[in-house]
Amino acid sequence: MALDIVTIVAVSAGAFFFLAGTVGLLRFPDTLTRLHALTKADNLGVGLVALGLLPRAGSLSGGLKLICVWLLVLLASATVSQLIARAARDSGPLP
Amino acid sequence: MSIASVFALCAAAAVGLGLYGLLVSPQPLRKILAFNLLGSGVFVLFGVVARRGAAAGFASDPIPQALVITGIVVAFSATALAVALLLRLLQVSGSATLAAHSSARSSRDPAGT
Amino acid sequence: MTFALALHIALAGMMLGLAAWTIAARETFAAVVGFVVYGLFLALVWVRLDALDVALAEAAIGGGLNGLLLLGAAARLRAAEAPADAERPGASLRLLAALLSATVAAALAAAVLLLPEPAPTLAPAAAANAAATGLANPVTNVLMAFRAMDTMLEKVVLLLAVVGVWSIAPDHFWGGRPGVRHQADPQGTLAFLARVLTPFGIVVGIYLSWTGASHPGGAFQGATILAAMWLLIMMAGLADTPPMNARRLRLMLIAGPAVFLLVGLGGLAFGAAFLAYPAAYAKPLILAIEAAMVLTVAITLGLLVAGPPERSAAP
Amino acid sequence: MPDPAPALDAVTAGAFLLVLAIVVPVAGLLAAFAAGGRWVERIALTTLPLGLAIAVAIAIALWRTDAPIVYLLGAWAPPLGVALRADGLSALMMAITAVVICGVGIFACADFRIPAGATEARAPFAFWILLLAIWAALNMVFVAGDLFTLYVALELLTFAAVPLVSLDGRAETLQAALRYLIFALLGSAFYLVGSALLYGAYGTLDIVLLSHQLRAQPATLVAAALMTVGLLAKTALFPLHLWLPPAHAGAPAACSAVLSALVVKGSFFIVVRLWFGVMPGLPGSAAAQLLAALGAAAIVLGSIVALRQERLKLLVAYSTLAQIGYLFLMFPLALDPATARLASGGALAGGILQAISHATAKAAMFMSAGLLYAALGHDRISGLAGVARALPLSVLAFALGGMALIGPPGSGAYLAKTLLLQAADDGGQWWWTVVIQAGGMFTAGYWLLVLVHTLARGDASAALRARVSRLQEAAALALALCSLLLGLFPWDAYLAIPAGAAASNPLTLKALSSLLWPIVGGAVLATLLGRSGLPPARLRVENLLVAVIRPVRRGVLVLSGTIERLDGALRQWPVAAISLLVIAMLLGAAMQAAQSLD
């Protein structure tokens, strides 16, 4: 029961951060600010969703896989946003 | 309405959209993209058929699934070949279009060897 | 049930929205990005259709390699986009095309919805014959045993795609290296990603290929991930494509279909039929074919994305 | 004629030959790819006689057993497994494919040489591997007993054919290859949709099992319409021919020969399998008439546009377009009015014979056109004067190939025409009789146009840029002769030929007049429609004739100019793609109507 509550709270919070990140993506004016919104909010969102799902993983290996997913997403989004930011800087302000 | 019906409608719509794109997009790359969309609709149709055939403890008939995997490989190869042709066409002629600028008759230099 | 239905309808709606975006977007680059996202949603659809093997294949190809291929092409074609735009057909022709496409879609939808109940299926037959191969994944059984001929020919199709892509190279680059040489900062972000991610990716790729015998996954899905890792290393500038006339490369490119063919011929000579596996050796034989196929498919996919030889073999 | 209802799961004697027919070219191409360099050509040339021997062995085995040869791959019986089946049609198509591939292989030796000093070159490497791939794919098309295996075979064929188009790397050929590829992909997507629907409805894709279970229901009708039209797009039946003329005319000669002679027959053969094998009772009269009407339109448009070409290779390519139309005339003629089913009788035999004789004849014509181009450095029809004297054997190959298409007694086309005319007579479908006869005249028209130019007085030997290889001329001549003598082959072991059709004495007056009329008609057509005019007249009678003809010719030229513009419009991408969808709908509606009539 307590674990269920953890899941519900964490996943909902994660979903909220995703929503916030998406709003930022749509509303902010240029590439760098959009990236700012996306990376911050989405990384937190993914972490919270993964955390919320951990109690439901059922097995140790399942839990480890979830953590791996979280780490890989972090790695990918961190590097990709770096690359996008550099490309944006090199090619001047994009609309 | 079952899962299968929802995704059947979705697949048919994807086929329709892909067809429309193939018909009207002037740029070859957009045609290739539309072909991929069309193909994905066809594959989902196989998935719907597989899902309807769930039996014998399988949640989905394995035969259409295997056909889709083969189909995905073929579609990817086709995309790669088409993209390579398109990029080479751009390199050689400086333009990337499928429109016949000149009628076949006046095409300058049909090869003979 | 109604919640699940709502979820499915939402998923289908998202997918169609992205599909429409792919067709309607002004810029080709944006359309391709839409298509990549579409591919990821499509993988979810396959999960909901209980076809996990296909979901993995779709995620790896549709969301991954296909996206990479098309994005690269879109970037190189950007300058040529405007002239082709002038050839857009007129409004009446577009309306006609829309009407006809919609009619085909409607006919298709009606045909599927009116399919007979109960649906015919080969699932029981596949289940009953699973013992013959000793593999627990029914899709792998179909690919490697029941319809092995299709799978073998599909590998030949992949090889032909490579021959086709190579065949349009400029003559003086024959024997050279495929694709452009990526120059990247060896201390840069991409190189960092390539160094950190590749070991993970290789493990996952091999795991997916290996587990395909009994769980969702398989040679093709695993090979796609390996190909993606190879491409990542090349894009990070850490490695270069091999010269296209290297003997070892040629051998690796035919390994999959060749082993398949040899095992098949073994069946013809000593066993029941071409591509029939003797019951005692079925599993090791299939695993041997799959191992060769993983290697071949991974390299083939990487080379297909890299494109024709564009420079001489000298590094 | 073998029993039309083949056994389902009994492996017959000699069936492993079917496996070898596919495996040998596949193994050849794998080995050639791995070995590379000069080994590519050596391995391919070794594979040629092997494959030919296998094809002949299959034909003999079928003759002996008198029943279809069946092989179960992996010993798995359909519906779970995939069967290979060879009936008379498959055996004949395999044999003719082997003959043409061997001819093209001999012809190509001289064209695809590795330059001195290089270890490997692009064009030879690709050509030999793709040639073997086309062979494997076609053999698979002819024997596969499963609709999805046929799809894979069809894709294999497309993937092997497209790079052949752009082998010389010029922008036009790259564009032609890309058009071909994308349009063919659209066609295969339609085919694949149809297979999905059929599997959903019947739980099998095996041709024989499907034919037992097939009922008229929405999924079947939609599948039949979509699959047929997808295959028509790959076959380039009018009006879906946008890709064919530039692709076939632009490719190197050996490639054009394979593409025109064999590759389009692959998808045509699957249409035949689908209509006669899977669903003989489904299409009904209206749909069959529609296919033949498209075929008739292809004959008229293809021939008239061929007559208006300035270049020889494009003329031959448009002739292919017209000849593809000819292949589809058999569908309404094969319809048995009593049962409204397609019967595998004389009309089908005629259609297949036409495909076979066109394969050999067209390969010979493209080869000799390529030889003329290579020797002269151009292929303008108006610049061919004197060529017959300078290059007699090349011109003779062209002349015999074209003659074989018109169908003199003893040729395969003659037998085909006899069978089709007889079926038209029996069914009371006189309008197809008119089309068949007109088709012969059109063929004679563009054949004569070319011949008259080559025979005209002129000094071509001075203009020759390159020597022509005797071996290449011999290969072209052999294929042309093969087509001319096909009528003497014992066809009734493989095809259902009604008694009496084959037995007519080829030297009777009636038989000879059947050759004379097309040539007279063709002469009139060539005079009236030929763009490249006629060589300058020297006799007073000729001058008089020209004076009489000139006003008529002016009027007819306006008409043919309109037809040429129509062809240009139809070959625009959106128009062709829309035609594809319209034909799909018409076919679906026609089949639906046929079902509701019952």
* Secondary structure, 3-state, D510-537: HHHHHHHHHHHHHHHHHHHHCCCCCCCC
Chain B positions touching C290 (Cβ under 8 A) are: none
Both C149 and C289 in a single domain?
Answer: yes
Closest by CA position to C160, among listed D483, D272, D198, D134: D134
Q: Is the pLDDT of residue D533 over 60?
A: no
CA distances, C195 to each of A80, C208, D224, D597 (Å): 14, 21, 52, 69
Residue C101 lies in a domain: no
DSSP state of C142: I
Q: Is the pLDDT of residue D541 over 90?
A: no
pLDDT band at residue D318 under the 50/70/90 scheme: very high
Closest by CA position to D574, among listed B23, C205, C35: B23
pLDDT band at residue D188 under the 50/70/90 scheme: very high
Quick check: A83 and C190 CB within 8 A?
A: yes
Closest by CA position to D186, among listed B69, B25, C156: B25
pLDDT at residue C193, rounded to an integer: 86
pLDDT band at residue A28 under the 50/70/90 scheme: confident
Question: Distance, in angstroms, between B57 CA and closest chain D CA?
Answer: 17
pLDDT at residue D119, rounded to an integer: 84
Closest by CA position to D271, among listed D244, D236, D231: D231
Quick check: C189 and A75 CB within 8 A?
A: no
Count, residues in chain B? 113
Both C203 and C293 in a single domain?
Answer: yes
Domain membership of residue C235 as a residue range: 135-315
Q: Do chains B and C touch (3 or more CB pairs under 8 A)?
A: yes
Residue A58 lies in a domain: yes
CB nearest to D222's CB, from C107, C153, C160: C107
Amino acid residing at D534: L
Chain B positions touching D80 (Cβ under 8 A) are: 63
Residue A94 lies in a domain: no
Closest by CA position to D350, among listed D337, D376, D332: D332
Residue C102 lies in a domain: no
Both C46 and C193 in a single domain?
Answer: no
- All domains of chain B, ordered by start, with CATH? 3-92 (1.10.287)
D461: Cα within 13 Å, side-chain hemisphere? 6
| B30 at interface of C, judged by CB pairs closer than 8 A | yes
D266: Cα within 13 Å, side-chain hemisphere? 29
Closest by CA position to D440, among listed D521, D364, D501, D504: D521
Per residue in B91-100, pLDDT (tens digit) is: 888 777 877 6
Q: Is the pLDDT of residue B105 over 50?
A: no
Q: Can you tell me the mean pLDDT for B58-74?
A: 92
Could you tell me the pTM of the whole model? 0.93
User: CA gyration radius for chain D?
Assistant: 23
Q: In chain C, whose CA is at the least distance from the CA of A79?
A: C189
Q: What are the backbone dihedrals phi and psi of residue D59, each rounded to the nearest 5 degrees, phi first?
A: -60, -40
DSSP state of C169: S
Both C243 and C170 in a single domain?
Answer: yes
Burial label for A81, CB within 10 Å (0-12, 13-18, 19+), is buried
CB nearest to C123's CB, from B4, B54, B97: B54
Question: Distance, in angstroms, between C121 CA and closest chain D CA?
Answer: 5
CB nearest to D219's CB, from C115, C166, C174: C115
The rounded percent of chain D whose pLDDT value lies above 90 is 52
Cα–Cα distance measured from residue D127 to residue B112, given in angstroms and rounded to the nearest whole number: 15
Q: Is the pLDDT of residue D457 over 70?
A: yes
Quick check: D314 and B110 CB within 8 A?
A: yes
Both C68 and C198 in a single domain?
Answer: no
DSSP state of D311: B
Residue A12 lies in a domain: yes
Tell me how far apart the terminal alpha carbons of chain C are, to the nearest angstrom.
60
Cα–Cα distance measured from residue B17 to residue B24, given in angstroms and rounded to the nearest whole number: 11
Q: Which residue has the higher pLDDT, C293 or A21?
A: C293
Instruction: Map C233-296 to HEC letters.
Output: HHHCCCCCCCCCCCHHHHHHHHHHHHHHHHHHHHHHHHCCCCCCCCHHHHHHHHHHHHHHHHHH
Per residue in D268-308, pLDDT (tens digit) is: 999 999 999 999 888 888 899 999 999 999 999 999 999 88
User: CA gyration radius for chain A?
Assistant: 16
Residue C150 lies in a domain: yes
Neighbouring CB atoms inside 10 A of D353's CB total: 28
Question: Distance, in angstroms, between D170 CA and closest chain B CA?
Answer: 7
Asked if residues C46 and B10 have their Cβ atoms less than 8 Å apart, the reply is no
Residue A18 lies in a domain: yes
Asked if residues D276 and D291 have their Cβ atoms less than 8 Å apart, the reply is no
Residue ending a domain, among C27, C43, C77, is C77
Which of C77, C93, C135, C274 is the best substitution to test chain D (most D C-beta atoms within 10 A)?
Answer: C274
Q: Can you tell me the mean pLDDT for D253-257?
A: 93
Per residue in C2-27, pLDDT (tens digit) is: 888 888 899 999 999 999 999 988 88
Both C212 and C146 in a single domain?
Answer: yes
Q: Is the pLDDT of residue B106 over 50?
A: no
CB nearest to C265's CB, from D23, D33, D204: D23
Cis preceding linkage at D392, omega within 30: no
- Report how many domains make up chain C: 2
Quick check: B98 and D182 CB within 8 A?
A: yes
User: CA gyration radius for chain C?
Assistant: 22
Residue A24 lies in a domain: yes
Cis preceding linkage at D518, omega within 30: no
Lowest-confidence pick of A71-80, B21-30, C98-107, D550-559: D550-559
Q: Is the pLDDT of residue D536 over 60?
A: no
Tokens read off for A22: 């998406």
Task: Evaluate the CA torsion angle D341, D345, D349, D351 in order and state its sign.
Answer: negative
pLDDT at residue D531, rounded to an integer: 66
pLDDT at residue D537, rounded to an integer: 53
- Report how many domains make up chain A: 1
Q: Can you tell me the mean pLDDT for D388-405?
A: 90
Tokens read off for B40: 């994905």
Amino acid residing at C295: L
Q: What are the backbone dihedrals phi and psi of residue D70, each rounded to the nearest 5 degrees, phi first?
A: -125, 135
Question: Distance, in angstroms, between C185 CA and closest chain D CA?
Answer: 34
DSSP state of D380: B
Quick check: C193 and A79 CB within 8 A?
A: yes
Amino acid residing at D7: A
Alpha helices in chain C (DSSP H): 2-24, 28-48, 52-60, 66-77, 81-85, 91-113, 123-128, 138-141, 148-167, 189-211, 219-235, 247-270, 282-306
| B32 at interface of D, judged by CB pairs closer than 8 A | yes
Residue A51 lies in a domain: yes
Residue C123 lies in a domain: no
Q: In chain C, whose CA is at the least distance from the CA of B78?
A: C161
CB nearest to B111's CB, from D155, D163, D168: D168
Tokens read off for A29: 């004016």
Cis preceding linkage at C138, omega within 30: no
Cα–Cα distance measured from residue D501 to residue D511, given in angstroms and rounded to the nearest whole number: 12
Chain B positions touching C94 (Cβ under 8 A) are: 24
Q: In chain D, whose CA is at the least distance from the CA of C249?
A: D34
Residue A9 lies in a domain: yes
Question: Distance, in angstroms, between C272 CA and closest chain A CA?
Answer: 42
Tokens read off for D72: 């179960």
| C126 at interface of D, judged by CB pairs closer than 8 A | yes
Quick check: C163 and D222 CB within 8 A?
A: no
ipTM: 0.93
Chain D positions touching C112 (Cβ under 8 A) are: 197, 200, 219
Lowest-confidence pick of D25-34, D40-49, D311-320, D509-518: D509-518
Chain C positions touching D159 (Cβ under 8 A) are: 157, 160-161, 164
Task: Evaluate the CA torsion angle D549, D551, D557, D559 in order and state its sign.
Answer: negative
Cα–Cα distance measured from residue B23 to residue D182, given in angstroms and rounded to the nearest whole number: 11
Q: In chain A, whose CA is at the least distance from the CA of C189?
A: A79
Residue C108 lies in a domain: no
pLDDT at residue B1, rounded to an integer: 64
Classified as helix, coil or strand, D496 is: coil
Quick check: A75 and C196 CB within 8 A?
A: yes
Q: What are the backbone dihedrals phi and psi of residue D505, each rounded to the nearest 5 degrees, phi first?
A: -70, 125
Classified as helix, coil or strand, D342 is: strand
Kindly state the helix (H) or strand (E) to which residue C309 belongs, with its residue range. Answer: strand C309-311
| B93 at interface of C, judged by CB pairs closer than 8 A | no
Both C40 and C187 in a single domain?
Answer: no
Distance of CA B14 to the CA centre of its chain: 11
Asked if residues D325 and D299 have their Cβ atoms less than 8 Å apart, the reply is yes
Quick check: D178 and B86 CB within 8 A?
A: yes
Per residue in D339-382, pLDDT (tens digit) is: 888 888 888 999 999 999 999 999 999 999 999 998 888 888 88
pLDDT at residue D509, rounded to an integer: 66
Per residue in D136-183, pLDDT (tens digit) is: 999 999 999 999 999 999 999 999 999 999 998 888 999 999 999 999
∠ at Cα D135 (D134, D138), nearest 5°? 80
Tokens read off for C154: 């599909």
Chain D positions touching B23 (Cβ under 8 A) are: 574, 577-578, 581
Residue C105 lies in a domain: no
Tokens read off for D387: 């060529």
Cα–Cα distance measured from residue B59 to residue C120, given in angstroms and rounded to the nearest whole number: 14
Cα–Cα distance measured from residue D392 to residue D350, given in angstroms and rounded to the nearest whole number: 32
Residue A95 lies in a domain: no
Residue C223 lies in a domain: yes
Chain C positions touching B29 (Cβ under 8 A) are: 28, 32, 70, 73-74, 77
Quick check: D30 and C258 CB within 8 A?
A: yes
Under-70 pLDDT residues of chain C: 1, 82-86, 315
